Structures are given as C-alpha cells and as structure tokens.
Amino acid sequence: MAYENILVDENGHVGIITLNRPDVLNALNSALIEELSDAIEKFENNDTIGCVVLKGSDKAFAAGADIKEMQPKTYMGAYKEDYFTRTWERVADCRKPVIAAVAGYALGGGCELALMCDFIIAAENAKFGQPEITLAVMPGIGGTQRLTRLVGKSKAMEMCLTGRMMDAEEAERSGLVSRVVSLEDLHDETLKAANKICDFSHPIVMLTKETINRAYETTLAEGIRFERRMFHSMFATADQKEGMLAFIEKRKAQFKHR
C-alpha cells in the first residue's frame, strides 16, 4: 500500500509512524486510518521490529477525526460500514508495544488514538481534549471508556461534557501520560524508551504488555491468576535462561527473542 497520509520509517528495531496531514493538523480521515492500520500490521509482522512509535507534528499529534468527512454521514451508512471501527482498533490490538509521542493538540479521535497506545510521552506544549460535545456528538472510539479508566470519572466527565483541554502538566498529574519532556527532546526521549524496550526479549515484552492490559478487562483475582500463568510460561523461554544466567555471570544478556 502506498502511503499518502503517514510517513513510515525505522530506527534500529523501532518502527516509526508519523501522521502527516499538516494542512489540517493531522485530522484523521478514513484513508489515513487505513494506512495507519496497514503500517501497524506490517511492523507487527516484521520480526526485526520490537516496538512502534506513533507521532504527529510539533503543532498537532492529531486534532481529531476529520470533521469535513464526518459531517454528511448518516446513521445507516455509519452503521453499515461500521464507521472505521475495524481499522481504528488495529492500534489498540497491536501485540507489540506502541508509544505515542504527543506534541501540540491531541483532540477527539486524536486523544483517543493516543490512549490506544501503551503509554504516552508528552511534550510541554501538548493539549489533550475531547471536544466532540461542541459538535453535538460524543467520543466514539474509546474516549468515554479508556479516558475514564485512566483519569477517573470526575476529570473524564468534565473533559467530555465541557470540552475543556488538559495541558501536559495536568495530564501527567492525572496519569494520562507517563512523563513530560521539552518539545526539543520529545523525539529523542521517545526513541530512547523504544530502543530500551527493543533491547529486552521481544516475546517477554509482548507477554508483559498483554498481562498489564488484562488489568483493564477482568477481576483482580482473575488478573493475578493470568499473571501467574504467564510468569510460569516464561520459564519455557530461552531468553529467561539467558537473562538470569547473564546476571549471575555479571555480563550483558544476549537475547535471542525466543
């Protein structure tokens, strides 16, 4: 697939996807979402890639779904095409870690896209918001659910009901982002985190991601049981043997990703 709305690059074992519709602040239209989904799929199937970084421009991660594309939609049309649910959720379904590097606006579907990633590193100028209410709709791609789980009911309600944006500092305080860095450092800091992840055993990283995500979908007792089983399974990997032996022998582990 030829990409017209995203840029795709690799840095070592890190796959980098840059949203690239600068004229409309990276508004997310169906073509962009199809391309994003395709790029995620390719990185997921590429054994040399251990982690994916998703970013926008300095001014906008993404200012939401494309309002001009959405405005004429009908109920029956949206229902029948399952208005891009299938492709949007591809980011959340990626089995490898996806880090969002957010600078500028992450609004509406843009905020929800960042929330689908495993963690968010934000630049000081980042602004997060769910302004759909101003357009007479509501968040439609996980905002009412993922945002509420992350920041709690009170802040999620205020953001979704008033459209108020959170700045980077409040987002970090509220648990929406893992940390805030300067705009100049955003790219390097995100790549550093991604490269660190890639240095570890890829299957163990994937299992860890899957297990943490369980915490959002199950009871504590079931989650702990799942964690225990996943932990037991790690004794079947060559990388666990190597990781622990390297510690004992006081040397750097050489993981084989199996």
- Positions touching ligand DAK (CB under 6 A) are 24-25, 27, 63-68, 83-85, 88, 105, 107-109, 131-132, 135, 140-141
Numbers of helices and strands, H then E, in the chain:
12, 10
In the bound state with ligand DAK, the residue whose beta carbon lies nearer, of 38 and 89, is 89
CB of 3 to ligand DAK, least distance (A): 19
The tokens for 179 are 């940390």
Rounded to whole angstroms, how far apart are CA atoms 1 and 247? 44
In the bound state with ligand DAK, the residue whose beta carbon lies nearer, of 68 and 252, is 68
State the DSSP string of 155-193: HHHHHHHH-PPEEHHHHHHTTSSSEEE-TTTHHHHHHHH
Rounded to whole angstroms, how far apart are CA atoms 32 and 215? 30
In the bound state with ligand DAK, the residue whose beta carbon lies nearer, of 77 and 175, is 77
Are 145 and 168 within 8 A, CB to CB? no
In the bound state with ligand DAK, the residue whose beta carbon lies nearer, of 53 and 106, is 106
CB of 22 to ligand DAK, least distance (A): 9
CB of 170 to ligand DAK, least distance (A): 17
Are 29 and 60 within 8 A, CB to CB? no
Catalytic residue among 132, 143, 193, 194: 132
| C-alpha atoms less than 13 angstroms from C-alpha of 141 in its C-beta half-sphere | 28
Rounded to whole angstroms, how far apart are CA atoms 258 and 247? 18
Phi, psi angle pair for 76, to nearest 5°: -65, -40
Alpha helix (H) ranges present in 26-152? 30-44, 67-70, 75-81, 85-93, 109-116, 148-151
Q: Is 109 a catalytic residue?
A: yes
Catalytic residue among 34, 103, 110, 112: 112
CB of 14 to ligand DAK, least distance (A): 27
DSSP state of 140: -
Catalytic residue among 65, 100, 126, 156: 65
Q: Is 110 a catalytic residue?
A: no
Tell which phi-psi region holds residue 179, choosing left (phi > 0), alpha (psi between -120 and 50) or beta. Answer: beta
Catalytic residue among 15, 56, 64, 109: 109
In the bound state with ligand DAK, the residue whose beta carbon lies nearer, of 98 and 107, is 107
Can you tell me which residue has the tokens 């990781």?
243
Q: Is 221 a catalytic residue?
A: no
CB of 44 to ligand DAK, least distance (A): 21
Q: Is 132 a catalytic residue?
A: yes
Characterize the bridge pairing of strands 105-107 and 14-19: unpaired
CB of 23 to ligand DAK, least distance (A): 6
In the bound state with ligand DAK, the residue whose beta carbon lies nearer, of 132 and 172, is 132
Active site (catalytic) residues = 65, 109, 112, 132
